[in-house]
Amino acid sequence: MAEPEGLFFFRALDSLFLSGSSPSFLGLSALAFASILGGVMLGRLFVLLLDPFLGGSRSMVSFEDVSEGKRSEKSFFRSFDHEENGDEELDEYFHQPEKKRRLTPDQVQFLERSFEVENKLEPERKIQLAKELGLQPRQVAIWFQNRRARWKTKQLEKDYEALQSSFNKLLLKQTEKGSSESSNTNQQSQAPLNAPIADSGSEGEVSKISIQACKQEDLSSTKSDVLDSESPCYIDGDHSSFLEPGDSSYVFEPDQSDLSQDEEDNLSKSLMHPPTYVFPKIEDVDYPNPSANSGCFGFPVEDQTFGFWSY
């Protein structure tokens, strides 16, 4: 498929400035083009402005191997491949805003594994992961940040559910106790207690529990980055203080005998014993399908590293 001249020119520019050419060549090319464009700064600015439209540089994710046709067909690059009209193409080149590109399932899987090992990212590890995956270090950092946020949300949900079920069981126990002690107790005083037990989704009770849960969240999140009961983040986690009996923040003591095995596991795991992880080297991580023709764990890498784009 023939490219319009303008497009070819900008692609050439793109590859000159942003490909993994040898540093000297890159430097010379950059210098040459910058002078053509009226100076080094102008040249760089030019590339920066173009970059989003060129699309190939900022995000290093290549979707060549992504099998989901839906995704691929929506890709900005695919549209280049299939578009016939050159003018439209050029127009698209200039007016198409940069699209977000999702990581490939393989990349995500690798990142997930890495996250399981250690959910915080040291600079060297970030660089290494980025290299392995063919991503910008910043993309890796962002992924970890978002992943931590997701993890925290999930953990909060889990904690809340555990808390709620424990609370409901406690209420049930109290109710049964109360009714057996005095059969002629005031029915009205019992009614509000019975309601939430029958329906744990009852608004009033949920809000009460929410307040408690929020209090805990406040207490636990004031100091810590991530409320992290299972996360590998806290290798020497000092989070045993979270909701320990005797602690002033301890809202109520769950009747362990009342809890199911799962709940017991959950509580004991999340509240008392953060697991210890040993961080393996990346090369030790058993990653599936390492491709022979790629130096990046089988990830197709568009060489976009260390271009002019200052992420």
Partner DNA sequence: TTGTGTTTTATTGCCTCC
Partner DNA sequence: GGAGGCAATAAAACACAA
Residue number with CB closer to DNA (141 or 251) = 141
As a whole number of Å, the end-to-end CA separation of the chain is 33
Complex with DNA: residue 121 or 162, whichever CB lies closer: 121
163-166 long-range contacts (CB < 8 A, ≥24 apart) are 163/209, 163/212, 163/213, 163/216, 163/251, 164/200, 164/206, 164/209, 164/213, 165/200, 165/263, 166/252, 166/254, 166/255, 166/258, 166/259, 166/263, 166/267
User: CB of residue 289 vs DNA: minimum separation in angstroms?
Assistant: 19
CB of 106 to DNA, least distance (A): 11
Choose between 141 and 195: whose C-beta lies nearer to DNA.
141
- Cβ distance to DNA smaller for residue 155 or 202: 155
* Token output for 307: 């271009």
Task: Using CB under 7 A, list all residues that contact DNA.
Answer: 59, 61, 68, 70-71, 74, 76, 97, 99-103, 108, 120-121, 123, 138-139, 141-143, 145-146, 148-150, 152, 221, 225-226, 311
CB of 95 to DNA, least distance (A): 12
In the complex, what is the shortest distance from the CB of residue 41 to DNA, in angstroms, rounded to a whole number?
Answer: 20
Report the nearest approach of DNA to the CB of residue 255 (Å). Answer: 30
* Residue 185 or 221 having the CB closest to DNA: 221
